[in-house]
């Protein structure tokens, strides 16, 4: 497997164009399955999770072509409602196909996505919501079977938790339901609004996306459409934190500053100077970050759980103690033992981590435990003295396009190497091109 070799202590400077949002592109691509026509999705990041989603679309019968960051999906023909386990298990968020396939085919069968590194990831809210839309849902032998031969029927659905995935499944399934659906306590993440924008371009009638109550007026069918995926706010936050941990000065291009509110506020509290101008943001970090008293993850518009691990890396070298409270996922501190290998001082009790800033981190050999935990280890390596090795890069490849290339361009000393024989180093690009 590949690994990153990072020589820490280099101040990051320059500008980076932020990729399209993975967590917007995934549901939008899945939603193509309910559209009878050709959709062209621009600004799609080049990631393994996108590849997994395209594999499922092709299995369903869609013709999919990829040219750079543009994915064209011809879903005129869909000839199955079954997704094999092998494809479902490539990416747990494939559960987002449930609503699209059931709405299009009148039935769907997929394997239970199962948990992942950050938690059990139950889908009870998805299944209860799809039942409210008239689907008969059965679970047997680790598989889910949906049956709605008469199509979906509009309903009032209240989510006990503003689940992003459950909101997305309802949006997609309810577009062609008979009658109107009202979704109460819907997730408000920007990716929800982006999905709704795409579906409305396809002929759907969705209002209120981005608020807590969303109304979907059913239409008979959806056609294809062109769409430009919004920038990835989590990747943007990760680059802001790379600047913060290296006392750097970095400009982010192609972002939506309003999506970064809580991250910007916390980094300003830590002493960073952040200036926003239309679709770009400049962050200039102090030589020593001040500790932020509390980092509490919340559903949007609160502080994003996906930025908790990268933010914790910055807390490790701040002047003071930060209390990190992870309210969304039950097992999202797996980066803590790896950060402690750098000499970080972190105590965990349940969903609370007490991070006491230290003066210096020492390079370490660490393994990425999951996608965002992996990036936290890269940030720690950028700040640490000496040469850090980060393994298990497949986690990071799920969400960050050419991370080492981009960081190198900003002045980091980071290389992606193969470690089969422990010595062979890739020349050229810092990021290995498969
Ligand atoms: C989406 O996951 C994102 N993934 C996650 O990003 C993100 O962390 C999460 O939203 C929260 O913002 C994608 O968009 C592909 P949820 P999702 O349903 O939809 C519980 C990343 O790093 N829950 O809002 O799975 C669940 O266990 C990933 O890019 C139920 O109990 O998140 C969790 O505790 C990680 N029952 C909480 O709700 C359900 O039926 C939030 O889950 C569904 C969820």
Predicted confidence (pLDDT) per residue in 164-191, tens digit: 999 999 999 999 999 999 999 999 999 9
What is the 232 CA–ligand 1 centroid distance (Å)?
16
How many helices (H) does the chain have, and how many strands (E)? 14, 23
Higher pLDDT, 118 or 409: 409
| Span 2-18+232-418 CATH architecture | Alpha-beta prism (3.65)
Catalytic residue (one of 35, 116, 316, 340): 116
Which residue's CA is the nearest one to ligand 1's atom 28?
306
pTM higher than the cut 0.85: yes
Of 432, 405, 431, 399, the closest CA to residue 20 belongs to: 399
Helix/strand/coil (H, E, C) string of 277-340?
ECCEEEEECCCCCECCCEEEECCCCCECHHHHHHHHHHHCCCECEEEEECCCCCCCCCCHHHHH
Could you tell me the residue ranges of all domains in the chain? 2-18+232-418, 22-222
C-alpha of residue 380 to centroid of ligand 1, in Å: 26
> Whose C-alpha lies nearest to ligand 1, atom 44?
163
Q: What is the pLDDT of residues 249-272, one digit of tens each?
A: 999 999 999 999 999 999 999 999
| CATH, domain 22-222, list 3.40.50.1000, 3.40.50.300, 3.30.70.1560, 3.65.10.10 | 3.65.10.10
pLDDT tens for residues 123-148? 999 999 999 999 999 999 889 999 99
Distance between CA atoms of 430 and 5, rounded to whole angstroms? 10
The CB of 372 under 6 Å from ligand 1? The reply is: yes
Please say if the pLDDT value at position 199 is more than 70.
Answer: yes
- Residue 428 has a pLDDT of 37
Please tell me the predicted confidence (pLDDT) of residue 58.
97
Q: Is 251 in the pocket of ligand 1 (CB under 6 A)?
A: no
Q: How far apart are CA 104 and CA 148, in angstroms?
A: 10
Instruction: Determine whether 32 is an active site residue.
Output: no
**Residue nearest atom 8 in ligand 1 by C-alpha distance:** 306
Closest Cα to atom 13 of ligand 1: 23
Residues 183 and 216 sit within 8 Å (Cβ to Cβ): yes
Give the pLDDT confidence score for residue 88 in this predicted structure.
87
Q: Do domains 2-18+232-418 and 22-222 have the same CATH topology?
A: yes
| Of residues 93 and 25, more confidently modeled | 25
Could you tell me if the CB of 185 is within 6 A of ligand 1?
A: no
């Amino acid at each position: 497997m590949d690994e990153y070799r990072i020589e820490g202590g280099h101040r990051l400077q320059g500008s980076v164009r932020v990729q399209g949002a993975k967590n917007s592109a995934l549901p939008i691509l899945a939603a193509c399955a309910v559209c009878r026509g050709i959709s062209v999705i621009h600004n799609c990041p080049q990631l393994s999770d996108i590849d997994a989603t395209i594999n499922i679309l092709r299995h369903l019968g869609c013709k999919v072509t990829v040219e750079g960051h543009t994915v064209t999906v011809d879903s005129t023909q869909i000839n199955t409602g079954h997704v094999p386990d092998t494809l479902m298990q490539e990416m747990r968020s494939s559960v987002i196909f449930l609503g699209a396939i059931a709405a299009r085919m009148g039935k769907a069968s997929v394997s239970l996505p199962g948990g992942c590194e950050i938690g059990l990831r139950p889908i009870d809210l998805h299944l209860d919501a799809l039942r409210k839309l008239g689907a008969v849902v059965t679970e047997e032998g680790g598989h889910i079977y949906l049956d709605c031969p008469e199509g979906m029927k509009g309903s009032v659905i209240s989510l006990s938790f503003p689940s992003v995935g459950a909101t997305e499944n309802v949006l997609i399934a309810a577009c062609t339901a008979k009658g109107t659906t009202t979704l109460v306590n819907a997730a408000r993440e920007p990716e929800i609004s982006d999905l709704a924008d795409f579906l409305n371009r396809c002929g759907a009638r969705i209002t209120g996306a981005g608020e807590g109550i969303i109304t979907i007026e059913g239409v008979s069918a959806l056609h294809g459409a062109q769409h430009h995926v919004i920038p990835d706010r989590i990747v943007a936050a990760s680059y802001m934190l790379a600047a913060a941990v290296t006392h750097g000065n970095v400009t982010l291009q192609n972002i939506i500053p309003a999506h970064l509110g809580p991250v910007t506020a916390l980094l300003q509290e830590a002493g960073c100077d952040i200036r926003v101008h239309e679709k770009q943001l400049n962050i200039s970090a102090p030589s020593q970050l001040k500790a932020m008293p509390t980092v509490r993850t919340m559903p949007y518009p609160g502080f994003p759980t996906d930025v908790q691990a990268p933010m914790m890396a910055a807390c490790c070298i701040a002047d003071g103690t930060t209390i990190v409270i992870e309210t969304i996922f039950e097992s999202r501190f797996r980066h803590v033992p790896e950060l402690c290998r750098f000499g970080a001082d972190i105590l965990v009790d349940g969903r609370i981590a007490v991070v006491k800033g230290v003066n210096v981190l020492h390079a370490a050999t660490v393994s990425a435990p999951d996608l965002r935990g992996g990036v936290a280890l890269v940030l720690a390596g950028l700040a640490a003295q000496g040469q850090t090795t980060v393994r298990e890069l497949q986690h990071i490849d799920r969400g960050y396009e050419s991370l080492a290339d981009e960081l190198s361009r900003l002045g980091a000393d980071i290389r992606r190497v193969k470690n089969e024989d422990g010595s062979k180093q890739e020349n050229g690009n810092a990021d290995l091109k498969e």
